[in-house]
Amino acid sequence: MNKPSILILCTGNSCRSHMAEGILRAAAGDFIVVHSAGSNPAGYVHPQAIATMAEIGIDISAHTSKHMNDFLGRTIDTVITVCGNADQACPMFPSQMHRYHWGFDDPAHVTGTEEEIQSAFRRVRDQIQLVFNAYAAGLRQAR
């Protein structure tokens, strides 16, 4: 049986979608396939996102920034947008059965001291972790 495929989208595919991808893969990766992409990819994964995820034992250092159109020819069962811009720009994928929008602040736009920026990344990571761990738990119960 094929594993359901989930695509997590944000605008730049540099922070939120990668954190969500890493968290969801860690929470439910044995029975789903998880990808992330952006409507206007930044071309890199934010170093602070990588560092913040490493703090909770999830390595996203090998992730790459991808465009959502790269997934149009693939079977995608569920699309989850994590920012408003991606939600508005997101196309319907031919095989898509579910679509969810869970918006999170973009920590890449926070300015201030290094400590304030790090705090913003941690806050968003923790919010993403709460939502996506609950989602993974729901998927497990539905199996």
Residue 142 lies in a domain: no
Q: What's the structural domain count of the chain?
A: 1
Q: 30 phi and psi, to 5 degrees? A: -75, -15
Q: What is the pLDDT of residue 94?
A: 63
Per residue in 84-105, pLDDT tens? 765 566 666 666 688 899 999 9
Residue 49 lies in a domain: yes
Q: What is the pLDDT of residue 73?
A: 85
28 φ/ψ sector (left φ>0, alpha ψ -120 to 50, else beta): alpha
- Contacting residues for 142 by C-beta, under 8 A, at least 6 apart: none
Q: 48 phi and psi, to 5 degrees? A: -70, -30
Residue 31 lies in a domain: yes
Residue 141 lies in a domain: no
Exposed/middle/buried for 40, CB within 10 Å: 0-12, 13-18, 19+? middle
Per residue in 5-60, pLDDT tens? 999 999 899 999 999 999 999 999 788 999 999 989 999 999 999 999 999 999 99
Q: Which residue range forms the structural domain that includes residue 114? A: 5-134
Exposed/middle/buried for 42, CB within 10 Å: 0-12, 13-18, 19+? middle
| pTM given for the model | 0.92
Q: What is the 3-state composition of the chain as percent helix, strand, coil, each rounded to the nearest 5? A: 45, 15, 40
Residues annotated as catalytic (active site), given as ranges? 10, 83, 90
Q: What is the pLDDT of residue 3?
A: 87
Q: CA 114, 129, 119 angle in degrees (round to 5)?
A: 15
Residue 143 lies in a domain: no
> What CATH number does residue 94 fall under?
3.40.50.2300
DSSP reduced 3-state for 36: strand
Residue 82 to residue 3: CA distance in whole angstroms: 22
